[in-house]
Amino acid sequence: MLRKGSLILIISLIIVLNMLTPALATPRIVELIKPITDIKTVNKNIIISGWAEADTKLEIRVFGRVTQDVDGQEVYEWEEYIQPGKEAGLVVGPTGFFAREVELKNGSNKIEIKAVNPEGEEEIIEGVVTLSSKDEVREAVRNLMNVNFLDIIKKIIK
């Protein structure tokens, strides 16, 4: 009888904790329509869009990856890429929808979205978007077509 009581108590605790978890989670200030994590594209411009509470202040910044040779090793850092003709900041209007087109540089681009809602709460969303040339993509597809997948499968099975 004690075992059944303990089991029921444990199951009840699990159910209650699962119900409380969403309520305890910090709500997002910004909800993006399309995440900006690990995207690869051949389009020089992409659109960052989503929803936030009206009057939320957003700063959308793009950083290009700069590689340097330090003592024979490649070291990289992010350098801000100023968007031609665009300010980084914007304020979300009454509909809650926002959209901003950003320009990318060839290679890896870090996009950083800093949001501050009217209550002063802050959220930072980061992601990396890689811009490749169409020639790089064509070459990668050609190389992929030259791979004999049957040989690879046979090696794995051995």
Kindly state the average pLDDT of the residues 87-107: 92
Predicted confidence (pLDDT) at residue 142 exceeds the cutoff of 90: no
Q: Could you tell me whether strands 97-103 and 107-116 are parallel, antiparallel, or unpaired per DSSP bridges?
A: unpaired
Structural domain containing residue 47 = 27-157
Specify the pLDDT at position 12.
67
What pLDDT sits at residue 55? 96
Model confidence band, residue 16 (pLDDT cutoffs 50, 70, 90): low
60 within some domain: yes
- Residue 13 located in a structural domain: no
Confidence at 10, pLDDT banded by 50, 70, 90: confident
Q: Is residue 101 part of a domain?
A: yes
Task: Establish if 4 belongs to a structural domain.
Answer: no
Q: Is residue 48 part of a domain?
A: yes
Task: Write the CATH number for 44.
Answer: 2.60.40.10
Quick one: pLDDT at residue 86? 81
Degrees to nearest 5, angle at CA 101 with 54 and 37: 85
114 within 8 A of 59, measured Cβ to Cβ: yes
Angstrom distance (rounded) from CA 42 to CA 137: 8
pLDDT in tens, 28-78: 899 999 888 888 899 999 999 999 999 999 999 999 998 888 888 888 899
The pLDDT score that the predictor gives to residue 23 is 46
